[in-house]
């Protein structure tokens, strides 16, 4: 019986939430990268994914397998990797969020290079509400 369903989350809940976010972070990165590769080169090859992610090729293969299991990507053996509709939608959301996070960091005075670096880790923990606040802040500021 959940005794705090609608109230403020306690510490344990916050940690649990952060753990969940972390679990999907990698999938988000892969999906975004695959989308980029398809846009850039017309196709996403496992070797390119591995290279851009900075991991060994079998690691990329294994993770692509996980993307398939999660319904985010499709792939025929020895051929390229493609995004499902869900995968493409996720890629777009992730890309937009990434841009917003970088923009916000820069807006509060973080140097561009550092903003890009830190955004890679931060973005996965930015909720819809926080993202909306970021966008509002940026809009205000440029007005």
Give the residues lining the site for DNA (CB under 7 A): 19, 23, 26-27, 45-48, 53-59, 61-66, 75, 77-80
Nearer to DNA, 80 or 87 (CB): 80
Neighbours of 9 (CB within 10 A): 12
Contact flag: residue 103 with a copy of itself (CB under 8 A): no
Among 24, 86, 96, 136, binds a copy of itself (CB under 8 A): 136
Helix axes of 85-107 and 11-41: crossing angle, nearest 10 degrees: 110
Contact flag: residue 8 with a copy of itself (CB under 8 A): yes
Neighbours of 91 (CB within 10 A): 23
State the binding partner of 64 from a copy of itself, DNA, none, CB within 5 to 8 A by kind. Answer: DNA
Contact flag: residue 109 with a copy of itself (CB under 8 A): yes
CB 39 within 8 A of CB 52: no
State the binding partner of 126 from a copy of itself, DNA, none, CB within 5 to 8 A by kind. Answer: a copy of itself
CB of 106 to DNA, least distance (A): 27
3-state helix, strand, coil in the chain (%, to 5): 75, 5, 20
Q: 73-75 and 81-83 as β-strands: parallel, antiparallel, unpaired?
A: antiparallel
């Amino acid at each position: 019986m959940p005794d705090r369903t609608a109230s403020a989350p306690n510490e344990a809940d916050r940690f649990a939430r952060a753990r969940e976010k972390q679990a999907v972070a990698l999938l988000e990165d892969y999906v975004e990268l695959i989308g980029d590769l398809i846009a850039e080169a017309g196709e996403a090859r496992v070797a390119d994914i591995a290279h851009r992610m900075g991991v060994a090729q079998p690691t990329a293969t294994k993770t692509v397998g996980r993307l398939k299991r999660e319904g985010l990507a499709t792939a025929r053996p020895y051929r390229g990797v493609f995004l499902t509709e869900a995968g493409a939608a996720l890629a777009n959301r992730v890309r937009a969020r990434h841009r917003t996070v970088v923009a916000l960091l820069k807006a509060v005075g973080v140097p561009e290079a550092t903003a890009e670096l830190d955004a890679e880790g931060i973005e996965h923990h930015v909720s819809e509400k926080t993202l909306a606040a970021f966008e509002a802040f940026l809009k205000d500021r440029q007005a």
